[in-house]
A and B are shown apart, each in its own frame.
Chain A
């Protein structure tokens, strides 16, 4: 069976460094930090008191109040980003066959704040259950794509992928597969997360996963730097409209790039620690290259998972050197988490968007906050430190790895006739 080609025709972003696609991309190129003291709740007793929250964002500027109160923040963010991506794609919702349009979304957790608030409310009572009827349908991780489909009438495949920080890369790969197998013509994909809550910060702090650089939040996310001490939690959403190539061409759509391939693997090793030899990470990049039918030497850019944790960053770069050999030194490697923080289930989506815009614009956003080389990292690698670099990128890869050892890698390439 001949596989169909899949292209990206719409993008939407709601991030800690920009509330729309244009501002997100400008922020990335300029090396803007999204980290600041937490405003969502009183974090004064928490080990980490900062995060990458959305800035100047009011959901009621985007959707009706009647609708918003039925949605946890992670669904609200999903609606805002997907609205932007669908608009950007110029799809004519009046005329397309909506039974051929799916929504495959990624979320690492789901409605954590809703869950937290309902349980807190219950615990204040005398044990009589008084749960809000919207508790479950706000909290469940699958509900974000349900809202996107109800809002737009899309009646194709619809679900959420859950693989922690790899969730939205898994969603993109599923979307890519549905289209290339002929089961859909269009899929709205992406991911969203809203875990900057007491439960989220407390839980990640307990794992010692977060940076505690409270005296300098803006420099806390410092992937590859010798003094990195954990990731910075972020929130937001990214959305991508994926479309079958001929379908997109026939309607004269603007095409950002082609999805070349996707790779998946598992570490089968530990709850949270990366495999010391990076076996799963090596496999996921090799699987992705194989799926795309591309040789390692053709890859120009890698947007790493690069969360700014002591172990993870080293393991990923070692794996890149293993997969790409000497060519690793010619690749523009970066971690945009240095700016956005770690959006968990939305990371794969916003970093896919960063990779795509890098490819379209020929500018590689920087890995900011780097001051000191880590002697466990090969100094010959180009980590795009502190300043954006111009680069004619024809092939870009985006890595994401989730707690539990889930690895996903997506490859984007310039469109060729």
Chain B
């Protein structure tokens, strides 16, 4: 697992209070990990802070799964 992937997963585990095993690439924040609209906004903010990047709102809308988040951050770095 890449450094970015492990840091993304750590944020998700912390913020959503889910088990690490549930945080797989295909997992959807809302459908699988119990996030609501406020949780997903907070997750995006945490990614921005952790990786020192800006994720515009129109891009954030396309980040719905763990894998999509990792992919976006890897390409943005």
Residues of A near any B CB (own CB < 8 A): 64-66, 69, 130, 132-134, 137
| Interface of chain B: mostly helix, strand, loop or mixed | helix
- B38 and A134 form a contact (CB under 8 A): yes
* B window 11-45: CB within 8 A of A: 15-17, 34, 38-39, 41-42, 45
Q: Contacts A65-B17, A66-B16: A130 and B45 contacting too (C-beta < 8 A)?
A: yes
- B16 and A134 form a contact (CB under 8 A): no
Tally chain B residues at the interface, Cβ within 8 Å: 11
Partner of B41, one of A64, A69, A133: A133
Partner of B38, one of A64, A130, A133: A133
Task: Annotate B50-67 by CB proximity to A: 1 below 8 A, 0 otherwise.
Answer: 000000000000000000
In the bound complex, CA of A69 to CA of B17 (Å): 10
Q: Which 9 A-B pairs have the closest CB atoms?
A: A66-B17, A133-B41, A133-B38, A65-B17, A133-B42, A134-B38, A132-B42, A130-B45, A134-B42
In the bound complex, CA of A264 to CA of B42 (Å): 43
Among residues of A, the one whose C-beta sits closest to the C-beta of B37 is: A133
Residues of A within 8 A of B39 (CB): 133
In the bound complex, CA of A134 to CA of B15 (Å): 12
Most chain B beta-carbon contacts within 10 A, residue among A65, A69, A133? A133
In the bound complex, CA of A132 to CA of B48 (Å): 12
Residues of B within 8 A of A137 (CB): 38
In the bound complex, CA of A65 to CA of B16 (Å): 9
In the bound complex, CA of A69 to CA of B41 (Å): 15
| Interface of chain A: mostly helix, strand, loop or mixed | loop
Among residues of B, the one whose C-beta sits closest to the C-beta of A67 is: B17
Residues of B within 8 A of A64 (CB): 17
A-B contact pairs, 19 of them (CB 8 A): A64-B17, A65-B17, A66-B16, A66-B17, A66-B34, A69-B15, A69-B17, A130-B45, A130-B48, A130-B49, A132-B42, A132-B45, A133-B38, A133-B39, A133-B41, A133-B42, A133-B45, A134-B38, A134-B42
In the bound complex, CA of A64 to CA of B49 (Å): 26
Taking the closest CB of chain A, its distance from the CB of B67, in whole angstroms, is 23
Residues of A within 8 A of B48 (CB): 130
Residues of A within 8 A of B17 (CB): 64-66, 69
In the bound complex, CA of A137 to CA of B38 (Å): 10
Among residues of A, the one whose C-beta sits closest to the C-beta of B43 is: A133
In the bound complex, CA of A64 to CA of B38 (Å): 18
In the bound complex, CA of A66 to CA of B39 (Å): 11
Residues of A within 8 A of B45 (CB): 130, 132-133
Among residues of B, the one whose C-beta sits closest to the C-beta of A134 is: B38
Given A66-B16, A130-B49, A133-B41, 17 more A-B residue pairs with CB atoms under 8 Å apart are: A64-B17, A65-B17, A66-B17, A66-B34, A69-B15, A69-B17, A130-B45, A130-B48, A132-B42, A132-B45, A133-B38, A133-B39, A133-B42, A133-B45, A134-B38, A134-B42, A137-B38
In the bound complex, CA of A63 to CA of B71 (Å): 35
Residues of A within 8 A of B16 (CB): 66
Taking the closest CB of chain B, its distance from the CB of A129, in whole angstroms, is 11
Most chain B beta-carbon contacts within 10 A, residue among A65, A66, A137? A66
In the bound complex, CA of A132 to CA of B44 (Å): 10
In the bound complex, CA of A229 to CA of B34 (Å): 51
In the bound complex, CA of A134 to CA of B43 (Å): 12
In the bound complex, CA of A64 to CA of B16 (Å): 11
Taking the closest CB of chain A, its distance from the CB of B33, in whole angstroms, is 11
